């Protein structure tokens, strides 16, 4: 197999670290355009790498959105940003010496917008209120990628910084519910429901195989969104196991049919549960489970002690 270029190498390194993540999350970590990340991942998955590129949506809302959005003559769907082709990319920009290809259909009128010779007699009035955002959500956000929930306006500053989550304990044991805040001011309550260690019987029942000297661990967590700001990522994206010497173990890119995984996004007032799978060396001792909105956000991290 031909070695990937440096950009592909960095992309694969981030994917290997996360195990499972949305395209826009990977793009944000690399500072790249999500469309370029998606195209590179699709191309890399066709080279024989153990890489699966998928998509998730709310089927009913997506069908409803498609029913209200006409198909453009070029074969793409009309979106708030303009027509896109069936691959999801906008038409190419014109380059010097390369005009746009001819499009089927009647020619445009010779002068559809006459030149104004003075100030307009009836300028466009400013709208009284902002136009409601499309249910497709803001570009490059989880709601845009999935289209499953309309975005919610951010709460006033005093609600985004509730002192209760800052003074609440950030440590506990298995079964404890701990309070914290997300990166966008989301008020979260996360419970470590169960730690199954070892979980080899669940792992093998799902059709996976452990190598000699390995064991599997399954962690069950529930996240409740206590505020009015949607939580728009995977609840267990940075849920890790921690050994007594401080080494962290990230989740494995697998899911079990008997223990369903987390799904992206938790709306205000909702509680979402899921199971996270880990594969560790058989002799590894698990000292605690840690959740954080981002690895470098220690001030918002939660820790649950696990009895060995």
Q: What percent of the chain has pLDDT over 70?
A: 66
Is residue 66 very low, low, confident or very high in pLDDT (cuts 50, 70, 90)?
confident
Q: Where do the domains of the chain lie?
A: 6-45, 157-305
Spatial separation of the C-alpha atoms in residues 29 and 32, rounded to whole Å: 8
Q: Tell which CATH architecture fits domain 157-305.
A: Sandwich (2.60)
How far, in Å, CA of 221 to CA of 236, rounded?
8
Task: For residues 102 and 106, give the distance between their C-alpha atoms in angstroms, rounded to a whole number.
Answer: 11
**Mean pLDDT taken over the chain:** 75
pLDDT on residue 69: 66
Ranges of H-type helices in the chain: 6-18, 23-30, 34-45, 59-68, 142-146, 157-160, 163-167, 200-205
pLDDT at 80 over 60: no
State the Cα–Cα distance between residues 85 and 79, nearest whole angstrom: 11
Residue 283 vs residue 79, higher pLDDT: 283
Of the listed ranges 15-29, 241-255, 256-270, the least confidently predicted one is 15-29
Per-residue pLDDT tens for 236-247?
999 999 999 999
Task: Render pLDDT for 183-200 as a digit per residue (tens, 0 to 9).
Answer: 999 999 999 999 999 999
E strand segments, the chain:
77-79, 82-84, 171-173, 177-181, 187-196, 214-225, 240-242, 248-249, 271-281, 288-291, 302-305
Q: What's the pLDDT at 45?
A: 82
């Amino acid at each position: 197999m031909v070695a990937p270029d440096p950009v592909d190498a960095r992309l694969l390194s981030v994917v290997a670290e996360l195990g499972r993540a949305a395209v826009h999350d990977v793009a944000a970590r690399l500072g790249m355009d999500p469309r370029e990340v998606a195209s590179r991942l699709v191309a890399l998955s066709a080279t024989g790498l153990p890489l699966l590129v998928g998509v998730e949506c709310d089927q009913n809302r997506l069908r409803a959105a498609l029913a209200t959005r006409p198909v453009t003559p070029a074969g793409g769907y009309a979106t708030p940003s303009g027509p896109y082709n069936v691959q999801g990319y906008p038409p190419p920009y014109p380059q010097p010496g390369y005009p746009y290809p001819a499009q089927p259909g009647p020619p445009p009128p010779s002068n559809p917008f006459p030149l104004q010779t003075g100030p307009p007699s009836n300028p466009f009035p400013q709208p009284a209120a902002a136009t409601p955002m499309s249910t497709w959500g803001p570009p490059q956000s989880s709601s845009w990628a999935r289209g499953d929930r309309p975005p919610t306006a951010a709460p006033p500053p005093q609600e985004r910084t509730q002192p209760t989550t800052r003074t609440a304990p950030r440590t506990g044991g298995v079964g404890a519910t701990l309070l914290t805040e997300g990166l966008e001011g989301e008020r979260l309550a996360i419970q470590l429901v169960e730690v199954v260690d070892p979980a080899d019987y669940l792992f093998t029942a799902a059709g996976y195989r452990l190598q000699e000297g390995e064991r599997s661990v399954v962690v069950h967590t529930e996240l409740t969104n206590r505020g009015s700001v949607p939580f728009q990522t995977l609840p267990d994206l940075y849920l890790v196991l921690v050994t007594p010497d401080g080494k962290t173990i990230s989740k494995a890119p697998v899911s079990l049919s008997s223990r369903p995984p987390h799904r992206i996004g938790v709306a205000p007032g909702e509680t979402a549960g899921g199971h996270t799978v880990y594969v560790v060396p058989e002799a590894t001792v698990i000292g605690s489970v840690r959740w954080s909105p981002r690895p470098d956000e220690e001030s918002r991290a939660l820790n649950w002690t696990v009895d060995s």
